[in-house]
């Protein structure tokens, strides 16, 4: 009996001192797609569905998370006061998640545990199954259900503290999300719009295509994503291809840019050789223009590209540490010259094993540079999607994911979702 008392006391002390997160009010955001946990239609009724949706600022996307003393938490929607609840006490994969008047049953108790890279798992005390984006949906309105734990991006969540104003009133102004760095253009009527633009850089006219969200809000800091074209490609190729498939996944949550190669004075670079530093100068000029003309989150600027575009992304990652937050090069190499900043840079890298244009060995060399710069170990763990792996022991906030896939000189079919998931880690 004495041993049982000691055991229970130790467990209680453990639970009270090892909370994964603090009690508080949070937005709960999917690592898969950046969409927010949401009570459908702002309903206050028992049985209202739990779904994912684009951020609205409404209190139907805010949840009060409270430790219950047994290692679990209650998760209650702010607008209704009702709890996340597994319908019918189901123990099955695919069980519906809805809101229901709080009663404290095991179908309303949730384990919230640190998973990987700052994300959390949310697991039911009743069934030990995880809160899951059903069928890996990337669409607003996608269902949230229960499923056996497998650790994919559809089961990993960020808990973002709600800040500013009266959090019970969705009409009150709120501060930008935690960790944002609003640019000088925030709060001003934008002086740039979607379309093709030109800018003078050291006497040369350079062009780019800009895609601003259709519902652009001048007070909201947006992610900024540069998509670089391949050899003999152009900005229109990237824009017409949806910026490597990321634009649809972003669902108006990011500003996209497709820069065009240097074509001036009778010379056509056909790619990104950065001759005399002119491509990096072009990039810096664009950044200055966007930061002053649009509302950009300067802490969330990203680069993606394939082939020569991948090479430019590698160069951006090395030269622009502290300016860019992460890169996603595919089928690239360290061929675009750069001045190394010496700073770490998160990198999601893909390269086909059978690439006959830019050899797989070139991808390995570039990967190893980022593994070293981010102070990662040589140990890896499998991550979604297969065959990707993530290096372990990297500097906090500077992961490296390597996807060596069974293909040639092309973009893998899994790249849009995987890259968007990676960018949403920051």
Residue-range domain boundaries for the chain = 24-161, 195-424
pLDDT for 4 equals 41
pLDDT for 163 equals 60
pLDDT for 376 equals 96
With a cut of 70, which residues of the chain have pLDDT below it?
1-19, 116-117, 163-179
Rounded Cα distance, 214 and 197, in Å: 18
Is 195-424 a CATH 2.60.40.3500 domain?
no
| Domain 24-161 classification at class level | mainly beta
Sheet holding 380-382, edge to edge: 195-201, 204-211, 254-259, 222-228, 296-306, 326-330, 347-352, 400-405, 389-391, 380-382
pLDDT for 386 equals 86
């Amino acid at each position: 009996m004495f041993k049982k008392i000691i055991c229970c006391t130790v467990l209680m002390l453990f639970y009270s001192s090892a909370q994964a997160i603090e009690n508080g009010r949070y937005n709960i955001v999917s690592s898969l797609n950046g969409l927010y946990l949401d009570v459908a239609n702002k309903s206050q009724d028992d049985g209202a569905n739990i779904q994912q949706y684009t951020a609205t600022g409404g209190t139907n996307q805010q949840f009060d998370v409270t430790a219950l003393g047994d290692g679990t938490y209650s998760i209650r929607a702010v607008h209704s006061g009702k709890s996340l609840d597994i319908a019918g006490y189901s123990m099955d994969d695919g069980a519906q998640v809805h809101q229901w008047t709080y009663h404290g049953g095991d179908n309303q108790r949730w384990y919230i545990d640190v998973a990987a890279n700052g994300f959390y798992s949310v697991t039911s005390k009743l069934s030990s199954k995880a809160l899951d984006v059903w069928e890996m949906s990337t669409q607003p309105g996608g269902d949230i259900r229960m499923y056996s734990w497998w650790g994919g991006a559809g089961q990993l969540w960020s808990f973002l503290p709600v800040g500013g104003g009266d959090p019970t009133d969705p009409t009150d102004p709120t501060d930008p999300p935690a960790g944002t760095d609003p640019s000088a253009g925030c709060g001003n009527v934008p002086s740039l719009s979607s379309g093709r633009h030109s800018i003078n850089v050291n006497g040369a006219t350079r062009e780019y295509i800009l895609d601003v969200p259709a519902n652009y809000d001048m007070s909201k800091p947006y992610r900024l994503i540069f998509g670089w074209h391949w050899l003999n490609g152009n900005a229109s190729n990237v824009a017409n291809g949806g910026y490597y498939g990321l634009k649809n996944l972003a669902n108006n949550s990011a500003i996209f840019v497709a820069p065009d190669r240097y074509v001036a004075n009778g010379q056509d670079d056909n790619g990104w050789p950065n001759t005399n530093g002119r491509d990096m100068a072009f990039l810096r000029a664009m950044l200055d223009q966007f930061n002053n003309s649009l509302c950009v989150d300067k802490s969330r600027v990203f680069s993606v590209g394939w082939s020569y575009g991948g090479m430019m992304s590698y160069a951006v990652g090395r030269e622009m540490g502290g300016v860019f937050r992460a890169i996603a090069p595919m089928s690239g190499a360290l061929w675009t010259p750069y001045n190394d900043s010496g700073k770490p840079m998160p990198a999601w890298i893909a390269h086909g094993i059978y690439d006959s244009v830019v050899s797989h060995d070139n991808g390995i060399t570039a990967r190893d540079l980022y593994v070293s710069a981010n102070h990662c170990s040589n140990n890896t763990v499998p991550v979604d999607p297969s065959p990707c792996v993530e290096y372990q022991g990297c500097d906090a906030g500077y992961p490296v994911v390597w996807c060596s896939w069974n293909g040639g000189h092309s973009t893998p079919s899994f790249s849009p979702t995987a890259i968007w998931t990676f960018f949403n880690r920051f």
